[in-house]
Amino acid sequence: MSQVKENDTVKVHYTGKLTNGQIFDSSLEREPLEVTLGEGQLIPGFENALIDMKLNDKKTIEIAKEEAYGDILDELFHQVPKDQLPQDIAPEVGMGLASQAPDGTEHQFRVVEVQDDYIVVDGNHPLAGQNLVFELEVVEIK
């Protein structure tokens, strides 16, 4: 029976949870995730967990934040004057915003504070600073 190895393309069903059991993503109600290992498409802990799994293997793993989305970085919090926002935006805590850099790259932010004349946005990944739990099932190895 074949085992998952570096550079394989695999299809995997997964359920991602926070350590408190709250589900943040799952492929169970849709097509399994198809990914080629070694291309940097997955967080390191998820990819490493797939190595040596066999077809139809199932396992549950906990991924430390360092192997997931890392720590929350203070330098990714920014204070933005409200007069720099588009006129049609009424910012609220939790709202997602996007900003385009001069080189054309887009950055995603979450509003974490709203004051009278400014907002504070967070550019960290929403799962940064968290250990994650994944239930994995390998459904195809190419």
CATH number assigned to the domain covering 9-70+132-141: 3.10.50.40
pLDDT (tens, 9 = 90+) of the chain, 142 residues, equals: 589 999 999 999 999 999 999 999 999 999 999 999 999 999 999 999 999 999 999 999 999 999 999 999 999 999 999 999 988 989 999 999 998 888 989 989 999 999 999 999 999 999 999 999 999 999 999 9
Domain ranges across the chain: 9-70+132-141, 74-122
Cβ–Cβ under 8 Å, residues 61 and 49: yes
pLDDT for the residue 27: 97
CATH number assigned to the domain covering 74-122: 2.40.10.330
pLDDT for the residue 1: 59
Q: What is the pTM of this model?
A: 0.84
Q: Buried b / exposed e across 76-101, counting CB within 10 Å, b at 16+?
A: eeeebeeeeeeeeeebeeeeebeeee
